[in-house]
Amino acid sequence: MDVLNNGEKVSLSGNPPEVGEQLPKFKLFNAENQKIKTRDLIGKPTLISTVPDLNTRVCKIETKKFNQQADHYPSVRFVTVSNNTISEQKAWCAAEGVSNLEVLSDEELSMGYEMNLYIPNDGFLARTIFIIDAEGKIVYRQIVPEIHDEPNYIEALDAIKKYATEVD
């Protein structure tokens, strides 16, 4: 699969999983350098946003928007994944006041390769949004065509509303 980087076509490491498929097995790391495996993400509806680099304008905007939205959906887990280092992520979250969602590192590119979201020639993840249900099945997928564009937040949040409990 291809996306655009500043209007130039770049290839992902393969074809990302489709709606209806199970989330593949991979590992990420949290701010405490603890390993987070796919099975750790299963158990409640989860919005997973992947971004190329937290230290860029669009990634910053996107992560902060989902951080703000996380409060509105307490029954949904919000996760942002980048291949920034754990220390870069911790510093970024502290500087930006991001604490309502989890920021996880794919520095080892486990998720990037298992989900085919890695752009090998550019060295970072594509901009995507996946929503999984409590059993780990992918129920929503958005692969942003131009990685320098923001995702369709309204579409993603409308999709997550279907999985939020009535308490939300």
Nearest alpha-carbon partner for 143 in 62, 51, 41 = 51
Q: Is 59 one of the annotated active-site residues of the chain?
A: yes
**Sequence letter at residue 81:** V
Angstrom CA distances, 156 to 94, 107, 126, stand at: 26, 25, 16
User: 117 burial class (0-12, 13-18, 19+ CB within 10 angstroms)?
Assistant: buried
Q: Which of 28, 47, 51, 59 is catalytic?
A: 59
Contact (Cβ atoms closer than 8 angstroms) between residue 41 and residue 71: no
Residue 143, number of CB atoms within 10 A of its CB: 17
Nearest alpha-carbon partner for 10 in 114, 149, 146 = 146
Contact (Cβ atoms closer than 8 angstroms) between residue 79 and residue 47: yes
Residue 119, number of CB atoms within 10 A of its CB: 19
Q: Which residues are catalytic?
A: 59
